[in-house]
Structure 1
Amino acid sequence: MRILTPIASILLTFALAAPLAAQETENVAEEGVIVVLGEGLKDTPSVVAYSSSEIELETIISAPSGRIEDVLSNVAGFQQFRRSDSRSSNPSAQGVTLRALGGNATSRALVLLDGVPITDPFFGYVPLNSINPEQLSSIRVTRGGGSGPFGAGALAGTIELQSADAATLGPFDASLLANNRGATEATASLSQELGAGFGVITGRWDRGQGFFTTPDDQRVPASARARFDSWSVGIRGAAPLSDTVELQMRAAAFRDDRTLRFDGADSSSEGQDASLRIVGHGDWEFDALAYMQARNFSNIVISSTRFVRVLDQRNTPSTGLGGKFELRPPVGNDRTLRLGGDYRHADGELQEDAYSAFTGALTQRRRAGGVNTNLGLFAENDWNLGALTLTGGLRADRTRISEGFYRALDASGALVTETIASTRSDWAVSWRAGAAFETSDALTLRAAAYTGMRLPTLNELYRPFVVFPVVTQANAELKNERLEGFEVGFDLMPTEAVSFSLTAFDNLVKNAIANVTLQPNLRQRQNLPAIDAQGVEAVMRVRTGSISLDGSLAFTDATIDGRDASLALDGNRPPQTPRWAASATLGWSPKPDWYIALTLRHVGAQFEDDQETDRLEPATTLGLFAEVPVTEKLRFVLRGENLTDERIVTRNSRGAIDLGTPLTIWAGLRYGF
């Protein structure tokens, strides 16, 4: 019920804005000055100074799996915590990062949808299943520490997702596909231009019995397929308030249910989000945004020896609140000044029950939670000096970690253990600066340096967890992660049909949070002295006639920096961190409205743990997407995942293996006009 009032308020505001939009249209339509974009403010010159990748609509909608994580895997440096996708992994493990700065399940990259952070307030994971690629218009990935207007959380970079407007989606679009294991995927969108504005309603539903993540030789009668059942719905609209100001709103809800490895090992995640945004495009440009999130998570842990329930994480409600204001005063045609601030509030509470694996009796009731807040102030200035672009930004963040606790009671209600965390607050200053020089129309040289910051999540601070037989303890004393880094590179575009980008970087994450092994069956979240990552990223794009080729390559030499070998892990590679990752997509449009694409992807070997004992072998997969017209409005869609049926190891805990998506074929129809 707590989400209904904010959503109702936003819908009411939008409804009241519609007559105003119509009135404004009558007053100025003849002058043609109202242009409702449904987006934030236009890009600043600083974009060219940092390593970034743009993903176009054609690429977004042609992923072999039809899932957003598959789309993002085409980007050099993008990495999920595990190789499994959002149908066969635990939702709380869906952290994303860039530049191989992984090592735990929390996102080190800031993910924004229409300017709103979408990571879970309690866990810090990204609800990937709630994002439908077919309802996006563009994606920008900026690598490297973010400061200034991007805010705290952009430790490894920023992933900006932009929803499609009514003109992009068309009045009606729907698809229905099924795969060779009987799973189904249905999507639909309704769009309408409303005066000078627009409204969009979208929905998606995926369900299926999944596949066995457990290898044949490790299955037991209790082994289960990775079943999934998820849905999401959203409403989005934009309307002019004047000839230079527009109102945007978005409301969404989603739920996802999964089973992982054993019968009864069920998890669920759900959320309701709402945001309101006012964007001014006049001489004094501004962007005012407010949002809220209501999320919940549950998970049942099954013993891997007796195959009975041992833990019921029955409820983890959390709330995220926030806002941002950015002002761009008129300071001249050759400069862009950005001033503003943002605020984020996250609170949540874990509620779980532990049971005996032998008797099934309740042994403990546990609760844990707290409140994290962040207030940031930023300023950034860009200078356009002909062929040279300079940019610099400064940010100050006031962080506060409060009301943290962990409490365990036995079955009779007697206190077993209790931790009351002290309240902590601090100021953190971060900055970024860059330069880009156009040596010619074809070649741009660039260099940048930056710092960044991320708060530990409530999950990392207060919630212990078990992946049997390993227990991982929380740590209420975790410090903020800090990043320092620099990069140099160039962008080459000898013709409009060919582009190539190369970036070398050196990033250092101080106080990096990781699950550190204390004993064979015991780990604890701790701040490592640092993770040091150097590497090279390359991006290529070719368009010639009906053929297209998009490729990316990332090499990252990441190590745990124990500071003069004082830490036993010194020199080890961080967990879940490959050295090599590459992707290439070959597209072909033999006729109008025809599109066929093959995607070859490789992920190098990586380790499951910080001790480098459990190795995940490299994997190379081949994917297919094809769409051909049947009639003017009806199209046939064919998708293939892992066409060579490559063995993809996603988890290796002392030889206990989980596998990723095997050979999967999807076929269906898409209708749109």
Structure 2
Amino acid sequence: MRYPLTAVLALASSPLLAQEPVEEQDDKVIVVLGEGLSQTPASPAYDTQVIDREQLVSVPSGRIEDVLGTVAGFQQFRRSDSRSSNPSAQGATLRALGGNATSRALVLLDGIPMADPFFGFIPFTAIAPERLGQVRVTRGGGSGPFGAGALAGTIELESAGLEKLGTYGAQLLANDRGGTEASGHFAGELGGGFGVISGRWDRGPGFFTTPEADRVPASAKAEYDSWSVQARGVAPLTDTVELQARGLVYDDRRTLRFDGADSSSTGQDASLRLVGRGEWEFDVLGYVQARNFTNIVISSTRFVPVLDQRNTPSTGLGGKFELRPPVGSRHTLRIGADYRRSEGELFETAISAFTGNVRERRNAGGTNTDLGLFIEDDFELGALVLTAGARLDRFTIRDGFYTARDASGAILVEDRFADRSGWEESFRGGALYDLGGGLRLRAAAYTGLRLPTLNELYRPFVVFPVTTNANAALENERLEGFEAGIDFTSGEEIELSLTAFDNRVIGAVANVTLDPVTRQRRNIDKVRSRGIEASAGLELGQVRFDGALAYTDAEAREAGAAFDGNRPAQTPRWAGAATASWSPREKWLLAATLRHVGAQFEDDLETDVLPAATTIGAYAQLPLTADIALVLRGENLTDEEIFTRNQRGSIDLGTPRTFWAGLRIGL
């Protein structure tokens, strides 16, 4: 165990000043309600990219994961989006540090971690882009609030307030396969604050993910049906203190590959947040999450159910306290603590493919907790800003168990795993230097931490013909990394950024091949990822261009292992996106997006290839009246064949060419 108290005390002795998140307009100070505390002066020292509301609402697919796909280095475990993938595969990561389905990036919605408490996946269908006002992506390990989940970086989703949403809005679209997308919201002033209620419903018959030559009578389209409702309220309690409350309910049901291969993901989230913007700034929040997941696995040879993952209830509970005391005009101090508790278990039934009888009934689960103490210091020295942060985490992995019984209830396996706990420290620091003329240099170094999820520890899974076993002995992942970059801005017309980085995940959890049909989650020596990220934003009158490109040289290292030196599974070398948009007049928008993902491997032994894929999408908003517009969208307009899975020749395909048309109300 390591206790870096001297480092924490050294940082604590550095004075800092809290900034006030206000806007100056005609000499009047206007406080922006519904947001968290302002970003600190040194935030740009870390590689960041911001997605504004126009980009959020004009993505060709209408999906938040495709919005994030425009960020250099962002990736999911698989290329398929949340209409045609298994929910448990929706991990989010950055900088090619993927390789399994668990998120290595911390995804926050209004400051609340969104990862599923059991699996670690992100419920993308519950996050509607039209509800958001901004997305901020910071790459590299984090040591601030909830930093134990920010191994690869942080994705901060910020709900839109009344000023961005307007009092009402709705959208209804249909596609050429019979799918529909409907969303709407009502918002209004409540005293000195506001309230918003919004909903979204997506449904469709989907498309065949199985190539035509491989289809059988039992093959099914990737049918989907998902809805979510969110209520949010913001109320000022004093001139400087406001209360924010949010509730989210969602339900997501999908079919993948075969008739009866159905999955579901449901959730109910609630949170309260108190934000103070006075001389002593503070941010206090608490949340509770109730989630569940079900999944039926169909035999790919006999086409009957062989596994019913009938129930996976889990609960997430946590909160944070952050304080920014006024300690000097040249400093910003952040001190605080956060806590997250993840508890869950699975109930599943294994079924004989030949008789239809129950073979085994399995039950497994446990509880993970993390208590973190953090401190961060920004020091302004004219054109130079220095920043340093430290975090100390007390983690526990406990109450782990796995039980298997036969059809009569007799115990076949009964494992109780030893409780574990410990302390882990992480640090980050950086420098930002303003050269003048819009040019800035930056450099940063950091470490990070991620606990293995309950899913990785205790739940095996099957994606035919491969079985991946859990591993209750998994250790924490640790990140070590550094980066350097240069930024150039010229008003709102030009934004350019270039970053070189070197990141290493020590003890990375990977799906290691044991034989042709068996894998196991194991800690390997490390995954090293080195590369370059570039982004550009150019605005020339009515025309705007946004682009991002990432090149990553990543390798998995394990002395003596067959995969030593190989590229990690699901990791491309090249990934990029570019969007050109034209607004010929007010409320008009025409945009086209080019996306490219390089070749990657399905497995750690580099035997099954997912070829490179390049797609083109389009979006058009054409006003019909002052409040109503015609919306046209196109996905994968060239009908590129996108491999999303290739396991020994068993292939899944991504979204084919799709056309959408509909109306948007409330511009």
| Matched ranges for 1:28-67 at <5 A | 35=31, 37-67=33-63
| 1:33 Cα deviation after fit | 7.4
Contact map agreement 1:34 1:240 (CA 8 A) in 2: no
Number of aligned pairs? 641
Can you list the C-alpha shifts for 1:152-175, whole angstroms capped at 9, x where unaligned?
110000000000011211111001
Question: Per the alignment, do residues 33 and 594 of structure 1 end up closer, same or farther by CA in structure 2, a change over 3 Å counting?
Answer: closer
Indicate conservation of the 8 Å contact 1:36/1:239, yes or no.
no
> Residue 607 of structure 1 corresponds to which residue in structure 2?
601
1:393 aligns with 2:399: no
Q: How far did 1:591 drift? A: 1.6
Residue pairs, 1:472-483, within 5 angstroms: 472-483=468-479
Which of 157, 173, 176 is the equivalent residue of 1:177? 173
Partner of 2:22: none
Q: Which residue of 1 aligns with 2:3?
A: none
Q: Does 1:344 align with 2:346?
A: no
**What is the distance in 2 between the residues matched to 1:647 and 1:400?**
45
What are the residue-to-residue correspondences of 1:545-556 with 2, within 5 Å?
A: 545-556=541-552
C-alpha distance in 2, partners of 1:87/1:199?
Answer: 30
Do the aligned residues in 2 keep the contact of 1:147 with 1:432 (CA within 8 Å)? yes
Amino acid at match of 2:64: I
Aligned counterpart for 1:633 among listed residues 627, 631, 652: 627
Alignment partner of 1:217: what SS?
helix
Identify which of 306, 309, 318 aligns with 2:305: 309
Residues in 2 aligned to 1:645 and 1:140: alpha-carbon distance in whole angstroms: 31
Instruction: Give the CA deviation at 1:672.
Output: 1.0
Q: Per the alignment, in what secondary structure is the counterpart of residue 74 of structure 1?
A: coil
Instruction: Give the unaligned 5+ runs of structure 1.
Output: 1-30
User: Deviation at 1:34?
Assistant: 7.8
Q: Distance in 2 between matches of 1:495 and 1:146?
A: 29
Look up the match of 2:64: 68
CA contact 1:154–1:452 (8 Å) conserved in 2: yes
- The residue type paired with residue 627 of structure 2 is K
1:295 aligns with 2:287: no
The whole-number CA distance in structure 1 between the counterparts of 2:33 and 2:549 is 34
1:114 to 107, 110, 116: 110
Change (3 A) 1:471 1:630: same
- Pairing of 1:269-280 with structure 2 (within 5 A): 269-280=265-276
Among 562, 572, 580, the alignment partner of 2:566 is 572
Structure 2 residue 393 is the aligned partner of structure 1 residue 402: no
The SS at the match of 2:149 is: coil
Question: How do 1:337-486 residues align onto structure 2 when only pairs under 5 Å count?
Answer: 337-486=333-482
Q: Work out the CA distance in 1 between the residues paired with 2:421 and 2:325.
A: 32
Q: Which runs of 4+ in 1 moved over 3 A?
A: 31-36
What percentage of aligned pairs have identical amino acids? 66
Give me the TM-score of the superposition, normalised by structure 2.
0.95
Change over 3 Å in CA distance of 1:303–1:533 after alignment to 2: same
Name the structure 2 match of 1:131: 127
Q: Provide the C-alpha distance between the structure 2 equivalents of 1:625 and 1:33, rounded to a whole number of angstroms.
A: 37
Is 1:595 aligned to residue 595 of structure 2? no
Task: Give the structure 2 partner of residue 647 of structure 1.
Answer: 641
Cα shift at 1:441: 2.6
User: What residue is the counterpart of 1:24 in the other structure?
Assistant: none
Q: Is the 8 A contact 1:109 1:153 kept in 2?
A: yes
Amino acid at match of 1:86: S
Aligned partner of 1:507 in structure 2 is 503
Rounded to whole Å, the distance in 2 between the matches of 1:229 and 1:264 is 15
Q: Tell me, what secondary structure is at the counterpart of 1:439?
A: strand
Secondary structure of the 2:172 match is strand
What SS class does the counterpart of residue 59 from structure 1 fall into? Answer: helix
Q: Which amino acid in 2 is paired with 1:630? A: L
Q: Which amino acid aligns with 1:635?
A: A
**AA partner of residue 650 (structure 1):** T
The 1-side partners of 2:353 and 2:346 are apart by 21
Deviates more, 1:411-420 or 1:395-404: 411-420
CA deviation vs aligned residue, 1:426-480 (integer Å, no higher than 9, x gap): 1000000000001113210000000000000000000011112211110000000
What is the one-letter code of the residue matched to 1:210?
G
Which of these residues, 626, 650, 657, is aligned with residue 656 of structure 1? 650
Residue of 196, 200, 203 corresponding to 2:199:
203
Which deviations, in whole Å up to 9, do the C-alpha atoms of 1:507-539 show, x marking residues without a partner?
A: 000010011011111111000110000000000
- Cα deviations by residue, 1:217-246 (Å, 9 ceiling, x for unpaired): 000000000000000001001001111100
Per the TM alignment, residue 46 of structure 1 is displaced from its structure 2 partner at its CA by: 1.8
| Cα deviation 1:121-154 (Å, max 9, x = unaligned) | 0000000000110110000000001112342110
> In 2, Cα distance between the equivalents of 1:575 and 1:46?
34
Contact 2:146 2:372 in 1 (8 A): no
For residue 569 of structure 1, report the CA deviation from its aligned partner.
1.4
2:253 matched residue in structure 1: 257
CA distance in 2, matches of 1:506, 1:313: 39
Q: Is the 8 A contact 2:194 2:235 kept in 1?
A: yes
Q: Give TM-score, length-normalised by structure 1.
A: 0.94
Q: Out of 140, 143, 159, which is 2:136 matched to?
A: 140
Letter in 2 for 1:655: G
Structure 1 residue 32: Cα displacement: 8.1
* Structure 1: distance between partners of 2:375 and 2:215: 57
Residue 9 of structure 1 corresponds to: none
| AA partner of residue 339 (structure 1) | I
- The reply on whether 1:91 has 2:87 as its aligned counterpart is yes
Is 1:192 matched up with 2:167?
no
The Cα shift of 1:561 comes to 1.6
Equivalent residue letter for 1:70: D
Equivalents in 2 of 1:336, 1:439: separation in Å?
Answer: 22
Query: CA separation of 1:36/1:555 partners in 2, compared to 1, >3 Å: closer, same or farther?
Result: closer
* Equivalent residue number for residue 616 of structure 1: 610
What one-letter code is carried by the residue in structure 2 that aligns with 1:545?
Answer: G
Secondary structure of residue in 2 paired with 1:168: helix
SS class of match (2:102): coil
SS class of match (2:169): strand
Structure 2 counterpart of 1:585: 579
Query: How far apart are the structure 2 equivalents of 1:647 and 1:146?
Result: 37
Counterpart position of 1:240: 236
Paired with 1:276 and 1:87, the residues of 2 have a C-alpha distance of 30
